[in-house]
Amino acid sequence: MSQQLVAGVDSSTQSCKVTIRDAGSGAVVREGRASHPDGTSVDPRHWWDALGAAVADAGGLDGVGAIAIAGQQHGMVALDADGRVVRDALLWNDVRSADAAAQMVQELGQEAWVARTGLVPVASFTGTKLRWLRDAEAANAARVAAVALPHDWLSWRLRGYGPADESPLGPDLDALATDGSDASGTGYWDPVRREYDGELFELALGRGLRVAGAPADGPSDAVVVPRVVAPDEAMGSLEVDVALPGGATAGAGLLVGAGLGDNAGAALGLGLGPGDVAVSLGTSGTVFGVTDAEVRDPSGTVAGFADGSGSRLPIVTTLNAARVLEVIGGLLSVDHDALGALALQAPAGADGLVLVPYFVGERTPNRPDATASLLGMTPATTDRAHLARAAVEGMLCALADGLAAVEGTGVTVDRLLLIGGAARNEAVRVVAAQVFGRDVLVPEPGEYVAAGAAKQAAWVLSGTLPAWDTATTVVPGDPQPEVLEQYRAAAR
């Protein structure tokens, strides 16, 4: 029997990764990667170019039966009636919509937002960016005919849609589709009822919405939003061959899965189930678990997203995670490994030196205008080792607060997994076991967001969600509660 191949894509803030795997075992057959430009406002064309380059780097899509794209959440991709991008996409980490978010919370009330969407608006969410667009760029807002998220837009382009002079199937906005995990992060979709809230969309952009594919029997200025596809359902199959930037081709007949948000992709890739919680250390930091129970946090700290399997994905997100190590490593002129070695030369708690790492503001807690602070400096603590230790501890303590918030919603933590690029650092693993005060499981290095997308593609191809094995290393818990206590005192 011939090998069935599937492809998974992770279109993240920094890069595009493509993994091509055996559909049955999950074994990696080949992989590719391409970079994205820096910035919090990006022309989506760069993502399309990077997807083509990453596919080419992975050896193309020959033999691949299905593909799914996971992507960074919340980014606002506004399209006009011709399928052209109205303006650069505002990414999750663009905080210019912080005032808009505050206004929207004030207008409706925090409890109402939680009841209707499972979240409280902050600058990250798509709806607040639409409000900013309405208020700051009225001419651009008037051109908007559809609003998509990064993974929606890429999937649409991959299926052959787009501006007439750039795509074989043209600007069919009714072909836009997404999944529940990514729709959860818009601020106008309810993960419990699993449907859009048109009133909230209108509160954001000042116009009503129409779900792609639904009859156009409402206001003529209604804005198209992607239809939400079930996790095991394909958006469709390619009707024509699609030429990708970089020379690769996606052949007619290729199935395209619903795709998913990046954290839901990681959860699916890791095979998380109820009782499992992951701490992800990428550019941003996230704490997320999988539960079958409805999650609505009245404080708004925990967002009650949908996951990529039909369950819930309660999640806390910080803006500052591996970024903290980059900043302090740059200050000390060392890479991550050398920074970790320095950190392990100082004791737990860094003798009272505390870094509150709000370098680009913060999302949790909601302090978009905050800056980082270094407290407890004395002649004895102001050296390279103590500063490195404070950096690692500050990053992880912020996420320990996130873990406590997730647990506070009733989510059980039987297994705690540490993932992301920074999780490969020995000091980060050691300090995590101290700060979290429990055993920490570190999966073998891998691109778990892309793996989750590939697993979804295999689900679409076979009709059954596969179980792919993931090896883990256990770091024994070493509770050092004073580290988190002194951080919380400094961060108040």
Catalytic residues: 262
Cα–Cα distance list, 283 to 317, 327, 439 (Å): 11, 11, 24
Task: Provide CB contacts within 8 A for 262, sequence distance 6+.
Answer: 10, 12, 70, 71, 72, 73, 449
Beta-carbon neighbour count of residue 7 at 10 Å?
30
CA–CA dist 159, 161 (Å, integer): 6
Element (H, E) at 407: helix 384-408
CA–CA dist 159, 177 (Å, integer): 11
CA–CA dist 364, 423 (Å, integer): 20
Cα–Cα distance list, 474 to 70, 202, 425, 444 (Å): 28, 48, 14, 11
Q: How far apart are the first and last CA of the chain?
A: 61
- Whether the CB-CB separation of 42 and 85 falls below 8 Å is answered with no
Instruction: Determine whether 1 is exposed, middle or buried from the number of CB atoms within 10 Å of its CB (0-12, 13-18, 19+).
Output: exposed
Place of tokens 């109820």: 274
DSSP string for residues in 287-315: EEE-BSS----TTSSSEEEE-SSSSEEEE
Which has the closest alpha carbon to 151: 298, 48, 233?
48
